[in-house]
Amino acid sequence: MPHASSCDESVHAIETGLLRLKWLAAAARFQLALRRHDFALKAGFDPSQPRVPAGNPDGGQWTRDGGGSEEFSGSDSVTISDETSALWIGGEQYAQGAPRGPYPGRGPILINGQWVQPTPAQSALLAALEARADSAIRRVQDIFPEWRPTASLYSTVEGRIARARAEAEQAEVRVAEFQRNGILPGLFARESIPARGPERNFTSLERRQIYEIGSMFGCHTCGTFSAGTRSGYYFCDHQMPSALNQRGQSQRLYPQCASCSGRQGNWITRYGGGLK
Amino acid sequence: MTKSINLGIPNGVLFIRDRLSRDFPEMEGKGWVWSTPSFITLMCLHEQEGETQVTIGRSSDVRESGELMFDGVLETPSREIVVDIVPGEPILIANVDSEKTRVRIFGNAGRHSDDVAIALS
């Protein structure tokens, strides 16, 4: 009988594991679909925009008809107006005087006082890169509100694309540094629980939930399944860290190992706190 | 004469440094003590696991027991050694006589020490 019971337990454990894998796969597919959708929207994708019919040398390319830039042709520079285009969003100013905000994926770009129409490929690439840069910059500025990527000038559409790529990379390097040091949810962050506030008087329920999440996904910063603590429990880690949460954003709790908690404390004191 | 405090240590990290130093060591690899010439970073019991007693004083006055976690010379041009916790709050300050001070740190349980003694000479 003990043997049968042991088999039952093994089968149950395997079934549970399979269910979990199926759930993870479904979640990953859903996230991927969401990102594709988000990317298409940011890139200005419009399924109803007409294309050049097949058989034409430019078959499959977007046409200007029905697009948002009928008054422009090709990539020629055309001076239209000094006024802000309705296509721009955001309130800050570019170094060259154009309004700040990710390129919406269509329409002209103001370069050196002239409106320039990028090609569809340039439009899509620029929109994707600027959305990427904008997202990464916002994450850095959540920690350091004054942070800006190194300023650069551009005089062509390709120059602006290069600038967007450089800004995205600069910001992403900082984000990766934050993640490595526990300043943002790390690469291994999956599940979390809401924090009641910046207080560190965690309840036994919160500790147990964090322990369970840690047992399933490991330390959110480094991924280890060895908490390295005296009790064996993962620490409850506020994200974003309370010492850096200048805007009072709502926080969540993630499991963190002892080593990453120490490194996080060192980083916060070194860069975000300020020794007296 | 010694100074002592009992408290939960955020992130389980103590900073022991010359008052003017900002020369943080890189916390690389395994271990629980890292240092530069004027700055020591030490891991001890995390506040989520209990309180830690931290004591600082002259070698002759500090009870040197447990495991020797650090033994080295700290540059102390300010002639003050400060013990801080995250995110930069001083908890203990000790005056020293010279610009170089031998520092020995004892803990009762390595990185999980809840009794840390800092002996200066």
Q: What are phi and psi of B89, to 5 degrees?
A: -110, 120
- pTM reported for the whole predicted model: 0.71
Q: Answer yes or no: is pLDDT of B44 > 50.
A: yes
Q: Residue B32's closest chain A neighbor by CA?
A: A259
Q: Answer yes or no: is pLDDT of A254 > 60.
A: yes
Q: Answer yes or no: is pLDDT of A35 > 70.
A: no
Domain that holds residue B105: 2-120
Tens-digit pLDDT profile for residues A137-157? 999 998 898 999 998 889 999
CB atoms within 10 A of CB B104: 17
Q: What is the pairing mode between strands A114-116 and B115-120?
A: unpaired
Nearest to A144 by CA among A75, A71, A240, A229: A240
Determine the pLDDT at residue B53.
Answer: 97
Beta carbons of B24 and A269 less than 8 Å apart: yes
Q: Answer yes or no: is pLDDT of A37 > 60.
A: no
Interacting residues of B78 by C-beta distance below 8 A, sequence separation 6+? B18, B19, B20
**Which of A200, A202, A276 is the closest to B88 by Cβ?**
A276
**Which of A229, A272, A274 is the closest to B46 by Cβ?**
A229
Strand partners of residue B93 = B82
Q: Compute the nearest-CA separation of A48 from chain B (Å).
A: 54
Nearest to A137 by CA among A129, A128, A147, A127: A147
**Which of B8, B12, B88 is the closest to A275 by Cβ?**
B88
What ipTM describes this predicted complex? 0.94
Total tally of structural domains belonging to chain B:
1
Beta carbons of A265 and B10 less than 8 Å apart: yes
Judge contact between A108 and A84, C-beta under 8 A.
Answer: no
Residue numbers in A near B12 (CB within 8 A): 258, 261-262, 265
Q: What is the pairing mode between strands B67-75 and B89-95?
A: unpaired
What are the residues of chain A with a beta carbon less than 8 Å away from any beta carbon of chain B?
A: 200, 202, 207, 228-231, 233, 235-236, 243, 258-259, 261-266, 268-270, 272-276
> A174 or A111: whose pLDDT is higher?
A174
Q: CA-CA distance, A32 to A45, in Å (whole number)?
A: 17
Q: Which of A201, A233, A275 to mutate to test the interface with B (most CBs of B within 10 A)?
A: A275
Q: CA-CA distance, A15 to A1, in Å (whole number)?
A: 21
Q: Answer yes or no: is pLDDT of B64 > 90.
A: no
Amino acid at A113: G
CB atoms within 10 A of CB B60: 11
Q: Answer yes or no: is pLDDT of B8 > 50.
A: yes
Q: Answer yes or no: is pLDDT of A102 > 80.
A: no
**Which of A261, A263, A272 is the closest to B46 by Cβ?**
A261
- Percent residues over pLDDT 90 in chain A: 51
Q: Answer yes or no: is pLDDT of A206 > 70.
A: yes
Strand order in the sheet with A252-256: A193-194, A252-256, A235-239
Residue B87's domain is classified under what CATH number?
A: 2.60.34.30
Q: Compute the nearest-CA separation of A228 from chain B (Å).
A: 9
Q: What are phi and psi of B91, to 5 degrees?
A: -115, -25
